[in-house]
Amino acid sequence: MGSVFGLVALSMTAQAGTMAKREAFGTMPDGRTVDAVVLTNAHGLSARVIAYGASLQSLSAPDRDGHVADIVLGYPSLRGYLEKPQYFGATVGRYANRIANGRFVLDGKTYQVPVNDGPNSLHGGTRGFDKVLWTVGEVSHDAGKASVTLTYVSPDGDMGYPGKLSVSATYTLDDEDRLSIDYHATTDRPTIVNLSNHAYWNLAGEGSGSVMAQRLTIVADAFLPIDATSIPTGEVRKVDGTPFDFRHAKPIGRDIRTADPQLLNGRGYDHNWVISRAPASAPRMVARVEDPRSGRVLTLSSAQPGLQFYSGNFLDGTTVGTGGHVYRQGDAFALEPQLYPDTPNQPAFGSARLEPGQAYRNLIVYRFTTEPARSAR
């Protein structure tokens, strides 16, 4: 299955225009069916979304010569997601990223959520939104776009978080070669929420090797330094003169082996860049990645104030992905638009609070293009 299916589906539908197709992906241990929906456009792009974790399981895209490859890391079957979860393409929440010591205070009450990353809570705890079965709702397509909406209801007290949280994730692939993920959430009690997507990207193709030569731009002049447990210290530091300056495109790996204490803390890049001090009114470009080898370009837009950039530091050669290749350190990167890590414990970072009657939203837009090979000089 996996990337092989993506190629087959693409060959059948690329000439027919934008389409959405629903199928079975696997079966949960309790017998529930895990569905997949394949979204395809007329230009050779095909995205497969699975209901487990509301995850992007594959994204097939052509290179500058029209050759198609799957450019996100994943597993070929449900078994991998169940037996060795690594957030591949997953929706992460209730709180994406880390909460120090798994504790926060809301309206004078202290809440304890599961600790699953050293002393801290990561991506919602031991059973975050990446490890639950979402409901596949509306599946639709027309002449210009194909989409699927998935929903999940997290009960009051789930993983220690207050309030019943009703969440939706709508994936849309359009004929402008954009894949968008639109997250919405509402609550019946005051709570905190921070949702994002944890796709691992390799623009040369999943399993093709290191991404260190792929060129990254991040539209930010500051980042958040972290302590030895990856919690922000509270400082907002300028990127000037540091390995964290990606304001102009540079290879991901150019400075990654610099003896900077922050790179030692993160075992590479695993930090939040300060895009703005508050959410924007609409998505704007926050990052761009170019692969010189294939010519593929990914442009990321978001309205979120923060962007977590992770350089695949903990991929350790023990995972075999969709194409049958082993994933090693630095074989992919993640770009996660979100609120700042540990915001509930650091008021200077803003607020992650959601009230009844309010609606949380995080719209993430990925645009795929190609560029010609650069002439040798």
Tens digit of each residue's pLDDT (9 = 90 or more) over 198-241? 999 999 999 999 999 999 999 999 999 999 999 999 999 999 99
pTM of the model: 0.94
Q: Which two tokens stand for residue 352?
A: 């992650």
Q: What percent of the chain has pLDDT over 70?
A: 95
- pLDDT bucket at 375, cuts 50 / 70 / 90: low
Q: Express each pLDDT in 138-171 by its tens digit.
A: 999 998 999 999 999 999 999 999 999 999 999 9
Can you list the domains of the chain with their CATH numbers?
3-370 (2.70.98.10)
pLDDT of 343 over the 80 cut: yes
Active-site annotation holder among 123, 198, 271, 290: 198
pLDDT of 377 over the 90 cut: no
C-beta separation of 322 from 301 below 8 A: no
- pLDDT value, residue 8: 33
Mean pLDDT of 251-266: 96
Closest CA relative to residue 173, chosen from 284, 81, 275, 46: 46
Name residue, tokens 């005051």: 190
Q: Give the C-alpha separation, 347 to 4, whole Å.
A: 47
Mean pLDDT of 241-259: 97
pLDDT of 354 over the 70 cut: yes
Active-site annotation holder among 123, 206, 271, 336: 336
What are the two backbone dihedrals, phi and then psi, of residue 18, each rounded to the nearest 5 degrees?
-75, 135
- pLDDT value, residue 16: 58
Tell me the pLDDT of the chain averaged across its residues. Answer: 94
Active site residue 248: no
- pLDDT value, residue 10: 35
Q: Give the C-alpha separation, 258 to 241, whole Å.
A: 12
Which of residues 43 and 16 earns the better pLDDT score? Answer: 43
Measured at the CA of 7, the angle between CA 336 and CA 374, to 5 degrees, comes to 65
Closest CA relative to residue 252, chosen from 276, 216, 206, 293: 216
Which of residues 201 and 11 earns the better pLDDT score? Answer: 201
- pLDDT value, residue 88: 98
Backbone CA torsion sign across 126, 131, 137, 140: positive
- pLDDT bucket at 5, cuts 50 / 70 / 90: very low
